[in-house]
Amino acid sequence: MDLQLKGRTCLITGASQGIGKGTARIMAAEGCRVAILARRKDLLDKLADEIAATGAARPAVLAEDVLQQGAPEVIRDKVYKALGNLDILVNSAGGSRPIPWDAGDDAWYEGMTLNFEMLRRLTMAFIPGMRAQKYGRVINITGSSEPRGVNVANSAKAAVHAWAKGLSRVVGGDGVTINSLPPGRINSEQILTKVHPDPKEREAFAKANIPAGYFGEPEDMGNLITFLASPLARYITGEVIHVDGGMKKFAF
Ligand SMILES: NC(=O)c1ccc[n+]([C@@H]2O[C@H](COP(=O)([O-])OP(=O)(O)OC[C@H]3O[C@@H](n4cnc5c(N)ncnc54)[C@H](OP(=O)(O)O)[C@@H]3O)[C@@H](O)[C@H]2O)c1
């Protein structure tokens, strides 16, 4: 299937590791001109070199902290300078934030800002351009709506789902779609070093909770992200699509 992505422009946040990194590889292989963003420039440079070595266009490297004051506008300007316009935005920067049930406001503010507010503001920086060019794809990497305890990320990702649904209804007539993908357990830096650092525990968790029986790879997300980025996915918007090997227990 030709996904018709050759020459399309794409920004991927959180691309130094995990889901963002895997997605950058696939988007570049499909012929997209890609910008990769995270704080760790050394990792981004390495990924850009790896992608260039495959014969694909070398991604533009944006070493930015999305939590910095004014980051959305700075990032938008740098993306437009590097790529000329933006067709596809993959919001993957973020992370789990388990906290005590009575944690203070600072923990809530940091987790909500990273996982909801900055994602929303960055998207808003690109929506006018997408509407004007009558093409846009926003794909948010979110997370579970089945909390196992108090985790700021659960609330922030639920906020993304509700906001994205509303926005999809406003921008749908301009050829702009916005969808959210909650991963189940995908092998990534945070999963392997923080959430499930012990391989034996990982295996036991997968057997007990994931019908497929194993943790997914970033490319399991990247394949769907790439399809949703394509013109072929024009009729899919406002959706929350789980990529979790069947881990979610409820039908809706
Ligand atoms: N993997 C899973 O199973 C899973 C499950 C549920 C939800 N998710 C969600 O999926 C998304 C991707 O997660 P992942 O598992 O792939 O995580 P990961 O491997 O830990 O990668 C997180 C990425 O976000 C970037 N990042 C974090 N804070 C940033 C900041 N302030 N500014 C710019 N970039 C920042 C990191 O880069 P730098 O450190 O270099 O800045 C890194 O590239 C996250 O939103 C996460 O909440 C993942």
Residue nearest to atom 43 of ligand 1 (CA): 14
Handedness of CA 237, 227, 225, 55 (dihedral sign): negative
Binding site membership of 143 for ligand 1 (Cβ less than 6 Å): yes
**CA-CA distance, 184 to 13, in Å (whole number)?**
19
Q: What is the pLDDT of residue 176?
A: 99
Atom of ligand 1 nearest to the CA of 157: 47
pLDDT at 251: 86
* pLDDT at residue 48 in the model: 98
Choose which residue among 45, 79, 189 to substitute to test ligand 1 binding: the one with the highest number of ligand atoms within 8 A of its C-beta. Answer: 189
The pLDDT tens digits for 121-137 are 999 999 999 999 999 99
Domain segments of the chain: what residues?
9-233
Q: Could you count the other beta carbons within 10 Å of the beta carbon of residue 49?
A: 12
pLDDT digits (tens, 9 = 90+) for 222-242: 999 999 999 999 999 999 999
Question: In this predicted structure, what is the pLDDT of residue 252?
Answer: 78
Express each pLDDT in 165-198 by its tens digit: 999 999 999 999 999 999 999 999 999 999 999 9
Residues of the chain predicted below pLDDT 50? none
Instruction: Please give the number of the atom of ligand 1 that sits closest to the Cα of 22.
Output: 16
pLDDT, residue 69, reads 94
Any ligand 1 atom below 6 A from CB of 203: no
3-state DSSP of the chain: CCCCCCCCEEEEECCCCHHHHHHHHHHHHCCCEEEEEECCHHHHHHHHHHHHHCCCCCCEEEECCCCCCCHHHHHHHHHHHHHCCCCEEEECCCCCCECCCCCCHHHHHHHHHHHHHHHHHHHHHHHHHHHHHCCEEEEEECCCCCCCCCEHHHHHHHHHHHHHHHHHHHHHHHCEEEEEECECCECCHHHHHHHCCCHHHHHHHHHHHCCCCCCECHHHHHHHHHHHHCHHHCCCCCCECCECCCCCCCCC
CATH number for the domain whose boundaries are 9-233: 3.40.50.720
